Amino acid sequence: MLLAGDIGGTKTILALFSPDSGTLDPLEEASYISSEYRSLEEMVAKFIGSVNYSINRASIGIAGPVSQGRVATTNLPWDVTESGLARTLNIPEVTLINDLKAIAHAVVHLESSDLHTLNIGEGKDRESLAVIAPGTGLGEAFLTWSNGKYHAHPSEGGHTDFAPTTPEESELLGYLQERSDHVSVESVCSGRGIPNIYSFLKDTGSYDESDWMKDHLANVTDPTPVIINAATDKDRQCLLCKATLEMFVSILGSEAGNLALKVMATGGVFLGGGIPPRIVPALEGGSFMKAFTRKGHMQTIIKKTPVYVILNPRTALIGAACYGFGLDKC
């Protein structure tokens, strides 16, 4: 019996899979708010206590660079080790993998119903693939073809420097540099980044903040869902929120195109994470693909690259299970 996990900065999904079932449908599954637990061990122990199965191995996808079986989580105050989890939870075999590597393992197993196409392109089999996933943070990964199958590779590309491509984005960079010694792509292209864009547009006087939005934000701990909902609400639209989302979409398009060129992902680019499925109409508005393809003389290549939004919220969980069973068995 395999315990698989998708450990996110906001939400965690844990599930049990059986190699005898012939499918990747979990036997048991539960979701948790990550910040409510002092450690991953505490959370997993609660899940194990709620099921009646003997677990002999675990495969956990988690945000952060995994090195020698250890990870200091990027958006949680946890220091997690494979040996510590195995010992504390009495699981003989525990494997930690980067959460984007988990998603990358899953993309080759997704059905057409799991994807929304933003650009059909001219992708071909066995060409490299890229994954970019704005959620609480910004994750990136890629896949290469070798020896008859795809191999997934993790990346910490979300922590590279933010490179503005418009005058307004240059102003955004300067605004954030006054407040931080390093402005990463994640600083402006993630759930953590959206409030930064919002504050920039408000503080620089580009847009006024309405009283109702100000009151709404004052009563929440996470402003990102509020901003996204107000930006997409047709009945009570917030112009400041709409402008925030438009800038976010353009920055995401630019970074997705950068990643595609860096790894020559001519087979396709997949947008994962919690945000893209919620903003599909905004991604289809034109600014995403305009920024994605604005690559000078590489424009011809990048326009042929397929782009998909991953709609299946269990993709990282499926990828962790695939990794735990061995990719060839999925």
Residues 25 and 148 in one domain: no
Distance between CA atoms of residues 61 and 69, nearest Å: 12
H runs (alpha helix) in the chain: 40-49, 82-89, 99-107, 167-177, 194-203, 211-218, 223-232, 239-262, 280-283, 287-293, 299-303, 315-325
Chain centre to alpha carbon of residue 236: 28
* Per-residue pLDDT tens over the stretch 213-247: 999 999 999 999 999 999 999 888 899 999 999 99
How many structural domains comprise the chain?
2
Structure tokens at 227: 């901003």
Sign (positive/negative) of CA torsion 202, 204, 208, 210? positive
Could you say which residues of the chain have pLDDT below 70? 327-330
Other Cβ atoms within 10 Å of 240 Cβ, number: 21
Residues 275 and 150 in one domain: yes
Distance between CA atoms of residues 234 and 228, nearest Å: 12
Residues 225 and 297 in one domain: yes
Residues 57 and 204 in one domain: no
Phi-psi region of 286 (alpha: psi -120 to 50; beta: other; left: phi over 0): left
Residues 179 and 320 in one domain: no
Domain CATH code at residue 265: 3.40.367.20
Distance between CA atoms of residues 209 and 205, nearest Å: 9
pTM score: 0.92
Residues 86 and 160 in one domain: no
pLDDT at 63: 84
Which residues span the domain enclosing 58?
2-104+314-329
Residues 170 and 208 in one domain: yes
Residues 195 and 246 in one domain: yes
pLDDT at 9: 81
pLDDT at 329: 47
pLDDT at 19: 81
Phi-psi region of 13 (alpha: psi -120 to 50; beta: other; left: phi over 0): beta
Residues 124 and 272 in one domain: yes
Residues 169 and 306 in one domain: yes
Residues 49 and 16 in one domain: yes
* Per-residue pLDDT tens over the stretch 168-186: 999 999 999 999 999 999 9
Domain CATH code at residue 324: 3.30.420.40
Residues 325 and 245 in one domain: no
